[in-house]
Amino acid sequence: MFESTSHEDRAGQATQRLHLMVCAGTGCVSNNSMKVKAALEEELAKHDLTREIKVVATGCNGFCGVGPLLLVQPDGILYQKLKPSQIPALVEEHLVKGRPVEKHMYHPPEGEQPVPLMNDIPFFKKQVLITLRNRGLIDPENIDDYIARDGYQALAKMLTQLTPEQVVEEVKASALRGRGGGGFPTGVKWETCRNAHSEDGAKYVICNADEGDPGAFMDRSIIEGNPHSVIEGMLIGAYAIGATRGYIYVRLEYPLALKRFQLALEQARAYGLLGEKILGTDFNLDIEVHRGAGAFVCGEATALMASIEGRVGEPRAKYVHTVERGLWNRPSCLNNVETWANVPLIIREGAKWFTKLGTGDVSENPWGGSKGTKVFSLAGKVNNTGLVEVPMGITLREIIYDIGGGIQDGKKFKAVQTGGPSGGCLPERLLDVDILDLEVDFDTLVKAGSMMGSGGMVVMAEDDCMIDVARYFIEFLMGESCGKCTPCREGLRNMAKILKRICDGEGRESDIELLEELGHAMMDGSLCGLGTSAPNPVISTIRYFRDEFEAHIRDKKCPAGVCRELVEYSIDSDRCNGCTLCAQACPARAIVGEQKQVHAVEQTHCTKCGACYDACNFHAVIRN
């Protein structure tokens, strides 16, 4: 249970001079951040500092590439990559003696001075936190922290000042667009749902927390770090459309998110913020958490609702929309976690405030631009990987180079993949425009041949093979397809077969045309969004990286050196000094050579694992 809120305790807390915010998002937890926390508490007890210094476990901080993270407040100093063994010295130096420890601070890759303050670190500097506004600053398992930062004020304002119709108008005016991938104007969805007819008056609000895109964890961060923002959003939405019950569908693989939601709901109920007579008014809503069972396809609205109903998670044709007939055939408003998390601020600060951030002109039409921010999970060959929230309209260059810290190891930027398995790969140059100058929003990404999706952003460098990337996504989707309709099930199966063939060096001349033909049939013929968007990675890589396809098919070569069957490792005799490191690393004993003599690779034994390439310090191993 959350801490009691008696006056004495609160006063007691007031005299704590330091709060140590330890990141307890899943990423850092799996890297032993809880052990770091325990070590901190132990050391503080040893030095008798527990009265004045408090340790707080927070949700994901976002800078996942350098966890476990510790933020010392109110100083604002961020420590990275902490190990429990380093804690005693850290406590002694910084907390007892007051001297911040440089070696644990963030060091930019160019080897400059360490950056002590979190808000000065480039990764954080350009971010604008709206949905992630509380990240790293609150204990997500304590509703009081949320309330202290104006939590549930939007709910209070709405219940005392706004009618449901006014709430709908406000959300429409904000031009908030769905953050799950569709980009549909949320206010319009709410209005349609509000006006939809229900036989017995029952209507539902649903939160889609199924987040199935591989590598995506935007929603997970929001839930683990700030679950009440979603609950408050759903309360506002339910009031607006007249819903009687809410459901949160959390994917099976998010046990911590599930736990934090359930705890948050309990605490909200205890405070009368959920359930009957909310905040003493006539508004009732309760929310139930429903767990998924390991199916990506259940992120699709109709499949999700089928799953909640207890039926098999298979989509149905959406010729009648779910806002009219959804869960149990009643009007249902399904929104993504991030969408819900934006809602309280829109109501509290006003639609106009929200429209200040972002692109386009929405004064006449909510489709006219993309307002607000978007959370991206930045991954791939960048220096700073993690979760970033940036205003719509920021350029790819800023995201990749300023926030992301540029390409690792000084490699060359090749492409950026957005939107997860439904999205496309964008090359460096696109129709005479530098892709890095693209101002990111819903429509620009679609125009370029990709999509926003749920916010996945994978940066690729010269050593990424685009065919391999396409094949990865197709194989993922093949495993997740529900199998009901022929174009998706068989189409993905056949696409995977063809791509594997190409990667194995058995590609045929006609394969590229066949993939395109197959892709267009799938886009037109599939029953649900999984199938219709599945060909995107393949179609976009064919469009922009056709030469790589041709290299694989005609020349039987993988220019990036990834596809094992097409890669050959050899040793440059000019550079090899016989240090034997490669031979030692080779698991197949395929490298021969005496010490101090030039080594050579026995091609017949070589398994193309690349261990020698990584082991050599003299760049003598050539990967071709």
Residues 245-264 that bind other proteins (CB under 8 A): none
User: In this chain, which of 55, 279, 430, 622 binds other proteins, going by CB under 8 A?
Assistant: 279
| Residue 232 contacts residue 131 (beta carbons within 8 Å) | no
Min. distance of Cβ 412 from other proteins in angstroms?
37
Here's the x/- map for other proteins, 290-319, by CB under 8 A: it reads as -----x-x--------------x---xx-x
If we measure between CA atoms, which residue out of 619, 604, 614, 612 comes closest to residue 580?
612
Which residue in the set 309, 428, 524, 602 belongs to the binding site for other proteins (CB under 8 A)?
Answer: 524
Give whichever of 291 and 316 is closer to other proteins, judged by the CB atom.
316
What are the backbone angles phi and psi of residue 222, rounded to the nearest 5°? -65, -45
Residue among 1, 74, 199, 574 that touches other proteins (CB under 8 A): 74
For other proteins, the closer CB: 60 or 158 = 158
Using CB under 8 A as the criterion, what x/- string covers residues 4-43 for binding other proteins?
Answer: -x-x--xxxxxxxxxx-x----------------------
- What lies within 8 Å, CB to CB, of 258 at 6+ separation is 250, 289, 291
What are the DSSP calls for 472-502, one per residue?
HHHHHHHHH----SHHHHHHHHHHHHHHHHH
Q: Which two tokens stand for residue 539?
A: 């179609």
Residue 103 touches other proteins, criterion: CB under 8 A: no
Q: Between residue 122 and residue 151, which ones bind other proteins under the rule CB under 8 A?
A: 137, 144-145, 147-151
Contacting range for other proteins; rule: CB under 8 A; set: 191-199, 231-239, 516-524, 538-546: 516-524
Tell me the DSSP string of 371-385. ESEEEEEEEESBSS-
**Residues of this chain, 372-391, that bind other proteins according to CB under 8 A:** none
What part of residues 340-369 is at the interface with other proteins (CB under 8 A)? none
- Which residues inside 38-67 make contact with other proteins, applying CB under 8 A? 51-52
Binding residue for other proteins, selected from 449, 525, 578, 610, defined by CB under 8 A:
525
595 interacts with other proteins by CB under 8 A = no
Stretch touching other proteins by CB under 8 A, among 256-264, 349-357, 491-499, 600-608: 491-499
Q: Under a CB-based contact definition with an 8 Å cutoff, are residues 37 and 55 in contact?
A: yes
Entry field: residues in the chain: 624
Give the Cα separation of 451 and 546 in Å (integer): 20
Nearer to other proteins, 12 or 350 (CB): 12
The two three-digit tokens of residue 331, written as one number: 């009007």
Edge-to-edge strands, sheet with 245-250: 286-291, 245-250, 204-209, 332-336
How is 535-582 classified by DSSP, letter by letter? THHHHHHHHH-HHHHHHHHTS---TTS--GGG--EEE-TTT-----HH
272 scored as a contact of other proteins (CB under 8 A): yes
In whole angstroms, give the CA distance from residue 473 to residue 453. Answer: 14
Taking residues 220 to 249 in sequence order and writing x for each that binds other proteins by CB under 8 A, - otherwise, the string is ------------------------------
Task: Kindly report the three-state secondary structure assignment for every residue of 126-165.
Answer: CCCCCCCCCCCCCCCCCHHHHHHCCCCHHHHHHHHHCCHH
The 8-class DSSP code of residue 91 comes to I
* Residue 132: count of CB within 10 angstroms of its CB: 27
472 binds other proteins, rule: CB under 8 A: no
Question: Measured between alpha carbons, how far is 310 from 303 in angstroms, rounded to an integer?
Answer: 11
Q: Which of 3, 46, 76, 607 binds other proteins (CB under 8 A)?
A: 76
Binder among 43, 224, 441, 480 for other proteins (CB under 8 A): 480
Among 35, 108, 128, 153, binds other proteins (CB under 8 A): 153
Using CB under 8 A as the binding criterion, the count of chain residues that bind other proteins stands at: 78
- Complex with other proteins: residue 107 or 489, whichever CB lies closer: 489
State which residue, 130 or 485, has the beta carbon closest to other proteins: 485
DSSP 436: G
Q: Does 527 bind other proteins (CB under 8 A)?
A: yes
The one among 156, 263, 357, 598 contacting other proteins by CB under 8 A = 156
Comparing CB distances to other proteins, the nearer of 229 and 481 is 481
- For other proteins, the closer of residues 7 and 589 by Cβ is 7
Output phi, psi for 395, to 5 deg. Answer: -85, 160
Q: Does 96 bind other proteins (CB under 8 A)?
A: yes
Work out which of 83, 99, 125, 412 binds other proteins, going by CB under 8 A. Answer: 99
